Each structure stands twice: as structure tokens, then as C-alpha cells.
């Protein structure tokens, strides 16, 4: 643990220099990303520095305790030692929690897949809303977002959108977003003013390292085709879009957002590896499946985890019974008010399985 914390302390020093570098100051995207990392690491490094200071004080007080013959002085030293040891234990616990991910994937980048479910065009429109919500949340935290693939509708919705979020701890923050997200609102396509219920599925996959997923090139079928869509940047005149089929599993991945065929293939391979890693981890987790459900549900897309009610301005996470009347702020990227309680519930192992009800108004 000490070596890892010392490395973070060195990283803070490095970030201090970078944040004062004129070349970084002129690159706002990079500056925000580094500033966010600095803000995330600073509390940990501050605790580490306090912990080191207490170690020195503990050594000095113990030395005084055994060197002095003055009983009154020794009693005073013992009292101060008790206070120092209490502070030392508190800091040590916080530091241990800070540097020990609860899941091996917690520090990874993520690949997010959002798909329209029940509700037709209205579901596709809300899929686009969720994409903007997660993109804004990532930007607020200084993470970068790379669009991988999108299937647009004529009126601006997404039948499907796949994107990568790169940033320290992205998986730990977004892992509980997997599941069915339900929206209750009057659709823009509805002339009668009736509230409709639609659903969107979200899958959050940890990005796989190359050493974890071995892929035999002969198991891949790679096709190129011309990108298509409702217009704009997703349409081009060259066969740059990529479709990769993993023949042993039948998994199919497409990428058409980049102009370069090479870049599209690289992005598609990242998505394929993430899906294969998730598949392998699910197979290995058979004996602990029930324990996993007790923490976050199965993550199966048939499970409703959250409802966004526009009429009441309300967001409800059904797994922990959390209701917030902050719909606009949450859809604008203020997700920490939901994510932090979910993380706390998961740590205390009392996050129940997601609700399966689809049509109630709760």
C-alpha cells in the first residue's frame, strides 16, 4: 500500500507542474482532465501525508514514554498516544479503502452501449437523452468520450449508440448503470397529451486489456461497408465502416463513426474484447452469482433499475428506493447524487435486485 500511495504523491507533484504549464493551459480539454485527476487524488495524498506525519509523532511519543521517569509526564504522553493511535487507525482505514478497488475492473475505462427498448421512436429519443447525460457527466469529471457506433432515427433519436469513456475510475462510477432505464413522459410525437412509458437498456462494459482476451484472427470475419445514418458526420462516401463477427460466439460489432477504416477497426476490436471479457467473467462467476445479485442485481437488461418521470420532475432508483426531484439536473450530468448512494449501498452489501415491474407509476 505504501508504494502505491507514494506513487500517487509523486503524481500530484507532476500534476502541479502540468497544471501550471502554458501548453496545458492553452488546451482546455487536457487542462480539465488533469484538474479533475488532481481533485480526485488530492484528498488521498493529503491523508497519506497526515498519516506519515502521525507515524513520526507516534515514534517520538513512544520514545518519550520509555525514556522518562516522571509518572505525570508519562501519563500525559499515554493520553496523547491514544489520540494519535485513533487518528492513525482512521487514516489507515481510509487509505486502504482508497487504494484497494472493490472490483478488479474499477479503475478501467468503460464501453457504454445504449439501446432503445419498448416504446418505438420515443424510446429512441430517450436513448439520445441518456447518451447526452453520460457524456456530460464524463465531461464534468474530466473524462474523454469517443463515439464508436450510432444508429440514428430520422427525428434525432438513437436506436443504438456505443461509446467509450476514458478516465481513471470510470468503471467504478458507472458500473451500476447497467440495466433497464424507464421514462414516463408525454412524447413529442403524441398529440393527445398522454403520458407514455418507454424503456432503454444500458450496458456498461469494462475495457479489456490485450493480455486478458486472446483472439485468434481466424475466428474473425471482417467486413467493410459504407457508413450510413440520418445525416451529418455519420455518412461518408467511402467504405470505411467496419463489421467484425466473432465466429465462435456469434458476437457482432460494428463501428462507423471514424473516417478512417483503420480507426474504426481499432474501436470495433476494443468493443469486441470488452464483450468477450464480460462473457468470460460471467461464466467464471457461476458460484458467486447469488452474491453478485445481492449487490447490484444481475445487470440483465430485463431488469428495470430506474425511472425518469418528467411530469413530476422525479428520478427514482428502484434498487435502493432513492427518489430525487432533480430530473433536469440529473439529465444534465449531475449523476453523483445517484451514483454515490449506489456505491455506498454496494459496499454495505444491501443493494437489492432490481425491480422487474414495467408498468406501475412508481
Judge whether residue 359 has pLDDT over 60. no
**What percent of the chain clears pLDDT 90, i.e. is strictly above it?**
30
For 83-143, strand residue ranges (E) read 110-116
What rounded mean pLDDT belongs to the chain?
Answer: 81
pLDDT in tens, 47-93: 999 999 999 999 998 888 888 888 888 889 889 999 999 888 888 87
SS3 152: strand
pLDDT in tens, 205-232: 888 765 557 788 888 888 887 666 544 4
Judge whether residue 249 has pLDDT over 90. no
Q: What is the pLDDT of residue 157?
A: 92
Q: Are 196 and 174 in contact (CB under 8 A)?
A: no
Q: Are 337 and 330 in contact (CB under 8 A)?
A: yes
pLDDT higher at 325 or 94: 325
Beta-carbon-side half-sphere exposure of residue 141 (alpha carbons within 13 Å): 23
Return the closest-CA partner of residue 175 out of 212, 127, 207: 207
Judge whether residue 134 has pLDDT over 50. yes
Mean predicted confidence (pLDDT) in 237-262 = 79
Q: What kind of architecture, by CATH, is found in domain 2-99?
A: Up-down Bundle (1.20)
Q: What kind of architecture, by CATH, is found in domain 217-284?
A: 2-Layer Sandwich (3.30)
The span from the CA of 337 to the CA of 334, in Å, is: 7
Task: Look up the CATH number of domain 110-207+285-347.
Answer: 3.30.70.1660
Q: What is the pLDDT of residue 301?
A: 40
Question: CA of 36: how far to CAs of 4, 12, 42, 173, 262, in Å?
Answer: 20, 12, 10, 14, 31
Q: What is the pLDDT of residue 345?
A: 77
Judge whether residue 37 has pLDDT over 50. yes
Equal fold, 110-207+285-347 vs 217-284: no
Domain boundaries, the chain: 2-99, 110-207+285-347, 217-284
The span from the CA of 80 to the CA of 75, in Å, is: 9
Q: Which residues contact 62 (CB under 8 A, 6 or more apart)?
A: 81
**pTM of the predicted protein model:** 0.59
- DSSP secondary structure string, 264-309? HHHHHHHHHHHHHHHHHHHHHTGGGHHHHHHHH----TTSEEEEEE
Confidence bin at 36 (pLDDT 50/70/90): confident
Amino acid at each position: 500500500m505504501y508504494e502505491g500511495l507514494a506513487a500517487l504523491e509523486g503524481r500530484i507533484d507532476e500534476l502541479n507542474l502540468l497544471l501550471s504549464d502554458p501548453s496545458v493551459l492553452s488546451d482546455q480539454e487536457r487542462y480539465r482532465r488533469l484538474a479533475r485527476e488532481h481533485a480526485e487524488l488530492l484528498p488521498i495524498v493529503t491523508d497519506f501525508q497526515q498519516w506519515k506525519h502521525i507515524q513520526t509523532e507516534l515514534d517520538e511519543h513512544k520514545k518519550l514514554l520509555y525514556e522518562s521517569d516522571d509518572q505525570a509526564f508519562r501519563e500525559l504522553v499515554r493520553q496523547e498516544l491514544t489520540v494519535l493511535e485513533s487518528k492513525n487507525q482512521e487514516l489507515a482505514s481510509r487509505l486502504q479503502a482508497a487504494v484497494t478497488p472493490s472490483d478488479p475492473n474499477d479503475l478501467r475505462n468503460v464501453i457504454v452501449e445504449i439501446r432503445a427498448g419498448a416504446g418505438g421512436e420515443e424510446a429512441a429519443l430517450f436513448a439520445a437523452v441518456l447518451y447526452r447525460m453520460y457524456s456530460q457527466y464524463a465531461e464534468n469529471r474530466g473524462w474523454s468520450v469517443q463515439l464508436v457506433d450510432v444508429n440514428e432515427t430520422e427525428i434525432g433519436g438513437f436506436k443504438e449508440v456505443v461509446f467509450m469513456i476514458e478516465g481513471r475510475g470510470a468503471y467504478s462510477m458507472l458500473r451500476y448503470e447497467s440495466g433497464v432505464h424507464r421514462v414516463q413522459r408525454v412524447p413529442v410525437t403524441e398529440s393527445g397529451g398522454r403520458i407514455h412509458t418507454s424503456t432503454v437498456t444500458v450496458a456498461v462494459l469494462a475495457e479489456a486489456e490485450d493480455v486478458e482476451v486472446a483472439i485468434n484472427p481466424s475466428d474473425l470475419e471482417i467486413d467493410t461497408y459504407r457508413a450510413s445514418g440520418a445525416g451529418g458526420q455519420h455518412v461518408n462516401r467511402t467504405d470505411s465502416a467496419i463489421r467484425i463477427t466473432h465466429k465462435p460466439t456469434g458476437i457482432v460489432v460494428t463501428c462507423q463513426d471514424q473516417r478512417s477504416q483503420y480507426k474504426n477497426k481499432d474501436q470495433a476490436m476494443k468493443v469486441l474484447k470488452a464483450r468477450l471479457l464480460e462473457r468470460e467473467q460471467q461464466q467464471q462467476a457461476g458460484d458467486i452469482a447469488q452474491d453478485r445479485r445481492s449487490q447490484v442485481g444481475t445487470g440483465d437488461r430485463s431488469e428495470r433499475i430506474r425511472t425518469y418521470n418528467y411530469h413530476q420532475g422525479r428520478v427514482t432508483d428502484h434498487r435502493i428506493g432513492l427518489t430525487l426531484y432533480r430530473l433536469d439536473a440529473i439529465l444534465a450530468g449531475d449523476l453523483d447524487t445517484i451514483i454515490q448512494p449506489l456505491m455506498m449501498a454496494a459496499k454495505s452489501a444491501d443493494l437489492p435486485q432490481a425491480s422487474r415491474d414495467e408498468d406501475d407509476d412508481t
